[in-house]
Amino acid sequence: MNEQEKDRKPGRHISRRILLGGAATAAVVLLKSSYGQVVQKAITQAELKISDPTKVLGPPPGEVGTRSKFEKPVKKTSDTSSRTPLQDLFGTITPSDLHYERHHAGVPVIDPNNYSLTIHGMVDKPLTFSLADLKRFPSVTRIFFLECSGNYRSGKETMTPQEICGLTSQSEWTGVMLSTLFREVGVKPKASWFLAEGSDAAVMTRSVPVSKGWEDAMIAYAQNGEAIRPEQGYPARLLLPGWEGNTSVKWLRRIELSDQPWMTREETSKYTEGVKDGKIRQFSFVMDARSIVTYPAYPQQIQKGWMEIRGIAWSGRGKIYKVEISTDGGRTWNTAKLQDPVLDKAHTAFRYLWEWKGGEAEILSRAIDETGYVQPTMKQLKEARGEDMGGYHLNPVTSWLVQRDGRVLFKPEN
């Protein structure tokens, strides 16, 4: 029985709540949206009854917090992935339950007491670590993004940032550096590649150059202050900052050191892309620089006046150096403000103050990273890679078309 039905029940004693609600009927009120716009919102009778929170005793402290019942950010799911609602987020940390997902055989259930990670192959001492062992090693905490290399969709005007490139998310990760474990097992100098293997139903594998293991790879067991979520690799996963997400193998059970790559299914028939002259590029690990405007964006409708154009920029090569904004379809560019701290290989929030006076406008952003790389247009990508470039490692400048009535539409292909 819901609240309204309870209230209608005949003979029920008159509670303080009913009195406070008065003779409320469904109404239309003006609310301020999270971006400061005034919008009309239909309010249900039940909601209106508690519209004065100063007159209702709230619930006591709880064991686990909840999202406001008025906020419903959700991932957009497909058979193989689910996408982060970039347009609903603020700042740069993705709430853990909204982190994008891409699995190759579902999410395994792993009892942390039975979990182990074995490192063997070209090492002095093959060792098996329990989760407790991993947690006892010197730890590191670091914020960086994780992005699927197949993170670009296009094709129609009615697409949200989530639909276009929602396979990117950012967390604060805690774990042990892989170099710490390499040191412990004694990786032989001639080892040049390692195999990372997950304990999902695909027992998914990728080959990774050992140099990345020594440089900045992590075995993470925590995400945003708590144990990693099952969807993100519970109880422990590999993380390769700045590299295509598939290489950061989740539910990591085994690392084998070798002097050559394994040519696994995911690094040959998948996660490779056509380039010119009929060639196919393999081991393209690094995610190039990219940005997207998340406000204004479809499906928002803007109103005349001042607003902040907002979005995120990131690069797998290092720090974001600059983000430029155009509101006239790329004829002129202005420098956006970057929100500190600008971190290495991390989503970086940008904003640019803009007055919309009505009329059509085309809003674009382009990221420039500290290596001097400038986010390309789709045309530049096609020129560089040829027409058969496939769907991996596409990071084109994305364009939003503001209509005269304030509607904002995605401009497919740029």
In the window 162-181, what residues touch another protein (CB under 8 A)?
Answer: 177, 179-180
In terms of CB distance, is 4 or 80 closer to another protein? 80
The distance of closest approach from Cβ of residue 320 to another protein in the complex, given in angstroms and rounded to an integer, is 11
Residues 234, 228 contacting (CB under 8 angstroms): yes
- Return the residue matching tokens 């009913």: 18
127, 227, 338, 409: which one binds another protein (CB under 8 A): 127
Q: Which residues of 176-206 are buried (b: 16+ CB within 10 A; e: fewer)?
A: bbbebbbebbebeeebebbbbbbbbeeebbb
Q: Of the ranges 15-23, 52-60, 164-172, 210-218, which one interacts with another protein (CB under 8 A)?
A: 210-218
192 lines the binding site for another protein (CB under 8 A): yes
- According to CB under 8 A, which residues from 11 to 50 bind another protein? none
Binding-site member from 318, 329, 406, 412 for another protein (CB under 8 A): 318
| Least spacing, CB of residue 147 vs another protein, in Å | 16
- Shorter beta-carbon distance to another protein: residue 120 or 411: 120
Distance CA 107, CA 199 (A): 10
* 110-117 LR contacts (CB < 8 Å, sep 24+): 110/199, 110/230, 110/234, 110/235, 110/251, 112/234, 112/235, 115/235, 115/236, 115/253, 116/253, 117/219, 117/236, 117/252, 117/253, 117/254, 117/255
**Count of residues interacting with another protein (CB under 8 A):** 78
Residues 372-411 that bind another protein (CB under 8 A): 372-374, 376, 380-381, 383-385
338 binds another protein (CB under 8 A): no
Identified binder of another protein from the candidate list 88, 157, 172, 184, rule CB under 8 A: 184
User: Scanning residues 236 to 265, which ones bind another protein (CB under 8 A)?
Assistant: 241, 253-254, 256, 258-265
Which residues in the 44-103 window bind another protein by CB under 8 A? none
Rounded to whole angstroms, the Cα distance separating 43 from 47 reads 6
Length of the chain measured in residues = 414
